[in-house]
Amino acid sequence: MKKLIIINGPNLNLLGKREPNIYGSLTFTEFLDKVRAKYSDVEIDYYQSNIEGEIIDKLHEVGFNCDGIILNAAAYTHTSVGIGDAVKAIETPVIEVHISNTFNREEFRHQSFISPNAKGVILGFGLQSYELAILSFL
């Protein structure tokens, strides 16, 4: 059985409540339940943290012993050299995802410290961005 993990960064625990015009009104738990039911032959772990170092620790922990990492580092995407370096340091391929199209938003969201070291980037498809990333690992 393939083993994937979704790692979400800061403020993504508020999905469903947070700026629903941008991020939608589904909670991540509701979305995850659906996706796990649909891809029941894949193990899909989930981790969320609002703390940069905890995201780095999680990447180190899973980055040598699973088949794929789906990472939405949220605001840290645009600021964190440390998370970018962690993505480079591990063996497991990382797909960078974003719910919104960061390129049609503020200029500061156009830069990513993750993209240069990611296997690929999927953005702008709402929560479906995560599902497309899952499909890319199957």
Amino acid in the structure at residue 30: E
Token pair 């690929």 in the structure block, residue: 120
- Tell me which of 49, 80, 92, 102 binds ligand DQA, using CB under 6 A: 102
Give catalytic status of residue 130 as yes or no.
no
Give how far Cα 67 sits from Cα of 13, 36, 97, 104, 111, Å.
Answer: 24, 16, 17, 31, 27
Which CB atom, from 99 or from 118, has the smaller least distance to ligand DQA? 99
Distance CA 87, CA 118 (A): 7
Question: How many residues bind to ligand DQA according to rule CB under 6 A?
Answer: 10
Instruction: Provide the token pair at 57.
Output: 């620790």
Q: 3-class DSSP state for residue 94?
A: strand
List binders of ligand DQA among 35-64 (CB under 6 A): none
Side chain identity, residue 120: G
Cβ at position 128, least distance to ligand DQA in Å: 12
Q: How far apart are CA 86 and CA 30, in angstroms?
A: 29
- Span of 44-52, 62-70, 83-91, 95-103 interacting with ligand DQA by CB under 6 A: 95-103
Active site annotation includes 78 = no
Q: Is 100 in the site for ligand DQA (CB under 6 A)?
A: yes
Q: How far is the CB of 40 from ligand DQA (least distance, A)?
A: 25
Give the Cα separation of 117 and 25 in Å (integer).
31
* Residue of 98, 130, 131, 133 that binds ligand DQA (CB under 6 A): 98
- Which of residues 92 and 98 has its CB atom nearest to ligand DQA in the complex? 98
Which residues carry out catalysis?
23, 98
